[in-house]
């Protein structure tokens, strides 16, 4: 139905579509209050399962979704990062969420760079956004490191329409100008 599912590789990470063995770590992440504070709140394991299946299903239906982020050092699932565009979403997003034990190590930025490169190169996107709650300063810092700028308040579709979010983003042209001269390739593996 779609092109081969990609595996992206960075210096420290593998990014690939979710696999069944990722679920336990995903469920732990979704149950962590600090990790979920800015992205919808803690979820029980049964709700996390539905969200996990939603990510996997988007790969089948859309040909893209957030990647499982795997540490090359120990083979562990450490987060989810990548392209995201549910029905009614305000744009073509590359989002991120890293398990608390792996935060503040640059993994979100590293994985987002590979994901943005892939979205522009393989999906043909013309821009990328990041939907961020204003109080989520860690994600604001990642967006800034990526070169994105705050475009102002955004509107999410129901049932999230009352969420206060800002839309950060940049165009493909802006991204390419910033990343010219070497670091553009996504590392796509067959």
Give me the long-range contacts of 148-154 (CB less than 8 A, separation at least 24).
Answer: 154/90, 154/129
Q: How far apart are CA 75 and CA 143, in angstroms?
A: 26
10 alpha carbon, distance to own chain's centre: 15
**Residue 126 near residue 85, CB atoms below 8 Å:** no
Distance from C-alpha of 19 to C-alpha of 56, rounded to nearest angstrom? 8
Cβ neighbours, 10 Å, residue 8: 23
Run of H or E including 68: strand 67-71
pTM for the model stands at: 0.90
Helix axes 23-31, 45-62, angle to 10 degrees: 120
- C-alpha angle 28-29-34 in degrees, rounded to nearest 5: 120
Write out the chain's pLDDT in tens, 190 residues.
345 689 999 999 999 999 999 999 999 988 877 766 666 666 687 888 999 999 999 999 999 999 999 999 999 999 999 999 999 999 999 999 999 999 999 999 999 999 999 999 999 999 999 999 999 999 999 999 999 999 999 999 998 899 899 999 999 999 999 887 544 444 433 3
| CA-closest candidate to residue 172, choices 135, 124, 133 | 124
164 DSSP 8-state letter: -
Distance, in Å, from the CA atom of 117 to the CA atom of 187, rounded to the nearest integer, reads 9
DSSP readout, 75-105?
--EEEEEEEE--TT-SS-EEEEEE-GGGTTS
Read off the pLDDT of residues 59-75 as tens digits, 9 standing for 90 and up: 999 999 999 999 999 99
Q: Give Rg (Cα) of the chain.
A: 15
Q: For residues 132 and 137, give the distance between their C-alpha atoms in angstroms, rounded to a whole number.
A: 9
Query: What domains are there in the chain, each with its CATH number?
Result: 7-184 (3.40.630.30)
Q: Which residues pair with 80 in a beta bridge?
A: 68, 97
Give pLDDT tens digits for 91-120: 999 999 999 999 999 999 999 999 999 999
């Amino acid at each position: 139905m779609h092109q081969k599912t990609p595996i992206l590789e960075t210096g420290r990470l593998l990014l690939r579509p979710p696999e069944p063995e990722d679920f336990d770590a995903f469920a732990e992440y979704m149950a962590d209050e600090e990790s979920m504070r800015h992205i919808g709140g803690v979820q029980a394991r049964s709700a996390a399962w539905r969200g996990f299946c939603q990510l996997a299903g988007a790969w089948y239906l859309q040909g893209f979704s957030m990647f499982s982020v795997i540490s090359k050092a120990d083979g562990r699932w450490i987060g989810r990062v990548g392209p995201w565009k549910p029905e009614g979403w305000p744009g073509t997003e590359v989002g991120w969420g890293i398990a608390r034990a792996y935060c503040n190590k640059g993994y979100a930025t590293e994985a987002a760079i590979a994901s943005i490169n892939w979205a522009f190169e393989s999906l043909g996107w013309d821009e990328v956004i990041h939907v961020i709650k204003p109080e989520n300063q860690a994600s604001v810092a990642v967006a800034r490191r990526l070169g994105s700028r705050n475009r102002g308040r955004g509107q999410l579709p129901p049932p999230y329409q009352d969420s206060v979010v800002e839309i950060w983003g940049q165009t493909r042209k802006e991204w390419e100008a910033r990343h010219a001269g070497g670091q553009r390739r996504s590392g796509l593996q067959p």
